[in-house]
A and B are shown apart, each in its own frame.
Chain A
Amino acid sequence: MRDFLLRSLKHKSYKFLAVGGSTVAVVALILILGAQKNFGPQQYGQLIVAGLGDGAIYALIALGFVMIYTVTGIINFAQGAFVMLGSMIAVTLYASKIGGTGATGLIVAALLAIVATTAIGVIVERLTIFPARNADSLTLIIITVGVYITLQGLALIFWGSNARILPAFTTVATSDLIFRPGGIVLKAQSLWIWGTTAVVLALLMVFLRRTLLGKALRACSVNRYAARLMGISPSRMSIFAFGLAAAMGAVAGIVLAPASRPIYDMGLKLGLKGFVAAAMGGLVSSPVAVLGGLLLGLTENIAAGVTKSGLKDIFAFIVLIAVLLRQRRQMGRGLE
């Protein structure tokens, strides 16, 4: 018996058993806690819908972190500010009726907001990252913290501290279209969010794999010096990375806006969550970052549903640390 245990411990199946066993344990725990609150399939279905809703937003924000990190090696704490700017600019442009009212107004406002945020991303890169491009990564990270602080402060000056409202995309009104399949509440805006995340991820993959610019960005992420030798300018790639990340942040902010109430300081929390999602993919893989975002959203909402909502973030960070420690085991074999 003892021999068998030892053998299976050495064997690969141990790992499988450990993962499988802990999964079963977690699911059982969720079901037990849920049973105390009389949760049925409808409640669990709803929690999954909620989790995927939050998760898709985290995923979109995570893509921006991955883009900048792979190309420049910087953890961009200002990513949350891009999300906020996307939301707030879209809300303001829509309210100003720059593209007319109704659906066209919404589309024009959204497009202009993306363009404006992209421009801000590029300006930020030129003004703050480029002059310090030779500094070590901690310095650059602190610079992005400074950028976040500055952008949030500017937002407070421009927009004040009141929350705003953007109409739902489907109805172009404050109340959204709601489907109720099997008693589960499914808002049309959630479908928009999921669809947008899928489309952005697909476009990003095609862009990175099929276009010359995309390939250059990837080359830069693999080895910046080799890329330079190949005639790719890391400085230009850095601009593209920031512009693209800002655009993706703006998209996230705009699809999120109708489901939340945009406010000048929304970026900190969203940025943190997006960062956690990206960290689950080691900050380098877009598809894994999207999975990380979804996992994060699901963890938070299911855990909050069956326990106390106040502990939501604790579960999110437990998952983060578990994932990090696991990744270390895989990477540990490589060189420093």
Chain B
Amino acid sequence: MTLTERPQKRYGSIVVGILVLSVIILVIGWLESAQPGGLNIAALTGGVVTFDTMVRIGILTTAVVGLNLLMGYAGQVSLGQVAFIGLGAYFSAVLTTRPSLIGASGLSGHWWWPWLLMLVGTVFTGGLAYLVGRPILRLRGHYLAMATLGLGVMVNILFRENLGFAVDKVNITGGSDGIYGIPRLSIGSWDIWPIERYYYLVWLVAIVGILLALNMVKSRSGRALRALHCSELASETLGVDTARYKVRALVLSAMYASIAGSLYAHFRVAVSPKPFDFGASLELVVMAAVGGMASVWGAPFGVAAVVILRDLLRTHLSLVIDAVGGAYEVVAFGIILILIMIFMPEGVVARTKEVVRRWSG
């Protein structure tokens, strides 16, 4: 049985891939700090890609790698993934700004406090995912999509409604305005800010995330997940404990999302319910789909494509059309999204590979 066979691991392509991505990231970072001849990433891309964009791409890549494991490999559609990002973000935000809620006022001054919260928040979010995953993941296909959608919306409302408490009595999540004044991360007295430093942190996390995900995909559980994607019934008859693997994939994806959320909170130093709403969940699925679901490598490309496209439309469309507001940008984004899905349904990465293969004969 192939599923239980010791996997034949091929690390060559992974090493090359990780190295290439790392070098790209390092070169962009070096450009920004050295500015040879006044050139940096913003200048090279005509002002479209700034460091803010690069950090956002890095954060979302981490989240989408997790989502890819769940959707692409385990075949479980989640329309509520942003709830896990939100949980991570709020966990960090609440307990760095209001540590007295858990009686930890004395600890908040330490530099390691946010890092500890990030880890605990990840475990906490993973635990929550485990608890909801057991019942929810028995649902299949569209039913699962609907249930995750419901969970996502509910979590968002809890953020907005201050977990059901009156804001003037116990202010936990800050209601619609959210939480501001979140500290920046630091190691000892060495701040991970300005943005150039934060950029390296975010991408380091993303690349480690990709590495772990690739490792997992090539392992036994990775093959079990893929088998599950093809046919749940068939893999069950082959002795795969499908429920366990599905829950494991959900927990993992939630933990990836939670780390991304914490990084987001310390990046924007403010969180509010709006960036974690239903629309944002859809956008995550779109990013995963554009990159190609069943491909860990699709994540950075999918995220970069969507984020840069939106930024490009936001900043440059108004130069072409004398438009007020984001209306034209939204329309262009919608049309491009439809076209991508019609002409490259398997994702940008897979499509590009195919084109390259055809051209090279």
Contact = CB atoms under 8 A, between A and B. Distances in A.
The answer to A–B direct touch (Cβ < 8 A) is yes
Interface of A: 75, 77, 128, 131-132, 135-139, 142-143, 145-154, 156-157, 161, 268, 272, 275-276, 279, 282-283, 308, 310-311, 313-314, 317-318, 320-321, 324-325, 327-328, 332, 335-336
Contacts of A149: 330-331, 333-334, 337
A135 B345 contact: yes
Contact of A310 (B161, B282, B293, B328): B161
A143 B340 CA distance: 9
Interface in B118-152: 135-136, 138-140, 142-143, 145-147, 150-151
B147 A150 contact: no
Contacts of A328: 138-140, 143
A272 B154 CA distance: 13
Contact of B331 (A136, A157, A161): A157
B147 A321 contact: yes
Q: B interface, how many residues as a size bin?
A: 35 or more
A321 B160 contact: no
A60 B359 CA distance: 51
Contact of B157 (A135, A272, A310, A336): A310
A313 B150 CA distance: 9
A142 B289 contact: yes
A272 B152 CA distance: 12
Contact of A142 (B142, B146, B150, B341): B341
Contact of A311 (B157, B286, B323): B157
Given A135-B345, A146-B338, A157-B327, A314 B135 contact: no
Contact of A145 (B146, B153, B160, B286): B286
A135 B343 CA distance: 10
B284 to A, nearest CB: 11
Nearest to B321: A157
A22 B335 CA distance: 48
Given A146-B338, A310-B160, A314-B158, A276 B150 contact: yes
A136 B160 CA distance: 35
Given A147-B338, A314-B157, A272 B278 contact: yes
B342 interface: yes
